[in-house]
Amino acid sequence: MKNLFTLIALSILTLSFGQEEESKFNFSGSVDAYWRSNINSPNDEVNQGTLPYAPPSSFVNMPGFSLGMANLVASYQDENVGFVADLAYGPRADQAINPNGATNNAAINQMYMFWKITENTTATMGRFNTFIGLERISPVENFNYSMSHAFTFGPRNHNGLMLDFKLNNNWDMKLAVMNPMEVTDFNNTGHYSVGGQITNGRFKLGYVRSQRSSFIDIIGGFDLSSTIQMDFNVQFANYKDGVLSGRIGDEYTALSIYPQYTASEKMSWGLRLEYIAFGPIADSDVLNVLTPTLTANYKVGDLTIKPEFRIDDSSQDIFINNDGNGSGSLSSFVLGAVYSF
């Protein structure tokens, strides 16, 4: 797999540097790494039983220094057709692309072709990132470095065919037929999922339904001033049998707000305040977690340094404290670094 990834990357580099005239071929990507430490929970290896030392969310949950991923994105577009090859390799990619285990296509985040059928209609076929949720696999596309619970338990990629329509008054609509959300590379179930999204500016309403799962997603945002903006995301999910890795119960409701403040060209601050309930909110026994996450973004050229303080406050003792006892709270600090090109 390493040799294959290296060969593809070198081929992309050769092609990109071989374009002497103005080209429609683009090459971009990122690399990231981080250091993480618990504050009120152990960081060394002891017998923890079933109580975790990290938040039950994706990617940024290893102690000490850890790699994120190397992400290489090649794209080409002529007048009517084009492609995107989005390759990712590393621990972040392993968890993101196929949380249920390794596959032959573990290095492919996205790979799709598109055809601009008319001025207002585009068809896309292949693997593409989900249109459910505000956060994405690439750390470049997120303000916070760690991931929300809604991202962790929701869909991440889809394999299928999608039509994108540009409507009147800045409205867009996507309609898609895809493999089931629980199927990563191919479909041997005979079932399919359907999905769609309606968009106008920063407002997005999305829906995906599979044989075992369904998701309703609402995204919105507005600017309070030239330096302060607010985004929000609401998700309603229902799934059977915990078919995707790590899922809790058979449904969740998640509400998140993302206020951000731009202090200068180099420095900005952002808060993700997420509440998630794994089951009916009206049920007093349901597991719910409140997660305030404060992140700073400091830019040095193409490098972004992301110090982050996070608290996961649970209604049940799903964590462990420094005394080795069950706890409903976990606080941690992360220092992330993301270089984009």
User: Is residue 12 included in any domain, yes or no?
Assistant: no
User: Is residue 124 included in any domain, yes or no?
Assistant: yes
User: Is residue 231 included in any domain, yes or no?
Assistant: yes
* pLDDT over threshold 80, residue 31: yes
* pLDDT over threshold 50, residue 20: no
Residue the block writes with tokens 């731009």? 262
| pLDDT digits 0-9 by tens, 239-262 | 875 455 456 668 899 999 999 999
Residue 32's alpha-carbon distances to 14, 140, 157, 341, in angstroms, are: 23, 9, 21, 12
User: Is residue 7 included in any domain, yes or no?
Assistant: no
| pLDDT digits 0-9 by tens, 60-107 | 998 899 999 999 999 999 989 999 999 999 999 988 876 555 455 568
User: Is residue 108 included in any domain, yes or no?
Assistant: no
Residue-range definition of the domain harbouring residue 182: 29-67+116-340
Within 116-248, where are the H helices?
A: 149-153
> What's the rounded Cα separation, in Å, for the pair 52 and 315?
15
Q: How many distinct structural domains can be found in the chain?
A: 1
Amino acid found at 50: T
User: Is residue 9 included in any domain, yes or no?
Assistant: no
CATH code, 194: 2.40.160.10
| pLDDT digits 0-9 by tens, 171-229 | 999 999 999 876 767 888 889 999 999 999 999 999 999 888 899 999 999 999 999 99
Query: How many CA atoms, within 13 angstroms, populate the side-chain half-sphere of residue 92?
Result: 25
pLDDT of residue 51: 55
- C-alpha angle 19/22/25, rounded to 5°? 60
- Report the mean per-residue pLDDT for the chain: 88
> What's the rounded Cα separation, in Å, for the pair 313 and 54?
12
